[in-house]
Amino acid sequence: MRKTIVLILSAVVLQAVPVLARTPSPENAQVYFIWPSDGMVVGHAFWVRMGLRNMGVAPKGTDIAKTGHHHLLIDIDLPENMDQAVPNDRNHLHFGAGETEARIELPPGSHTLQLLLADKDHIPHDPPVYSKKITVTVK
Amino acid sequence: MRIRLAALLFATAVSVLAAEPTPAPPNAYLYIGWPNDGQVVSSGKPIRVWFGLRNMGVAPKGVKFPNTGHHHLLIDTDAPGPGVEIPNDRNHLHFGAGETETMIELPPGRHTLQLVMGDDQHVTFDPSVQSKKITITVK
């Protein structure tokens, strides 16, 4: 009897786990900068072109497997806690309308850019899909 | 009274049949980021096609979200006009999962490529959001 209860309980727990889990990312999913490239010198306003492979773009709130929307991280590291929504501030630009390009204006100097994909609730996938962090110099 | 009802029914039927095409977002700009117009590529090796889109977002098929659509790559064919359902065949590739790039392989010779956006129902916008038609040569 006790064994049965344990089995039932573990079954319940196992079923509950996926609900708490983050959205899985497809194997080989890759987000990257089409433009600009690492080390490039750019004007104060420039287009950022966001590339995505083996995965699709969907606006925020869209519950479709193997999709997500872009976030551009400017002069900041990846969030430490990937279980939480990507912050929404001047260092974390959200593209919740499914945009794949953005016109960015930055002050002169050296800046880092990194792309991070997130799911319908702005929470990064598991494993997270992010680009290499690149550096551009705004002249 | 009966005539009025019939007229009303007729008007309803007509408005359902002749549903207005989804208006194109203002300034929407669609282009092929790669390959370039006139490019010569080697045969026997897939080429990557980049879908460039500005002032508009990407959403998978069936998703109704303002100012979004999904990409269609037209190969060796002309683009339909506004408000037309895009055919689904080897000349009209659908990217209903929100893809923003693809790999294609073409036989040797000259080929044309063109991008066209479709709305949640694969119907072209009004005015149609379409790229310049480019020509590539597979050698």
B15 within some domain: no
Residue B9 lies in a domain: no
B42 domain residue, yes or no:
yes
Residue-wise pLDDT tens digits, B32-42: 999 999 999 99
Distance CA A131, CA B13 (A): 50
Residue B88 has pLDDT above 70, yes or no: yes
Cα separation, B32 vs A17, in Å, equals 43
CA dihedral B92, B93, B94, B97 (to 10 degrees): 180
Distance separating alpha carbons of residues A68 and A3, to the nearest angstrom: 42
Contact between A64 and B53 using a beta-carbon 8 Å cutoff: no
**Residue of B36, B55, B100 to mutate for A, most A C-beta atoms under 10 A:** B100
Check: CATH 3.90.580.10 for A23-138?
no
Q: Which of B63, B97, B99 is opposite residue A59, by nearest beta carbon? A: B63
Mean pLDDT of B58-77: 98
Domain ranges of chain A: 23-138
Q: Tens digit of pLDDT for each residue in B9-64?
A: 554 444 444 578 999 999 999 999 999 999 999 999 999 999 999 999 999 999 99
Using the structure block, give the residue that is written with the tokens 């207005």.
Answer: B20
- Sequence-ordered alpha helix ranges (H) in chain B: 2-17
Q: Read off the CATH number of the domain in which B134 is found.
A: 2.60.40.10
| Chain B CB contacts of A62 below 8 Å | 59-60, 63, 65
Nearest residue to B122 (alpha-carbon basis) of B56, B69, B73, B64: B69
Structural element, H or E, at residue A19:
helix A2-20
Mean pLDDT to the nearest integer, A88-100: 97
User: Long-range contacts of range A13-22, CB-CB < 8 Å, 24 or more positions apart?
Assistant: A21/A126, A22/A82, A22/A83, A22/A119, A22/A123, A22/A124, A22/A125, A22/A126
CB atoms inside a 10 Å sphere around CB A23: 18
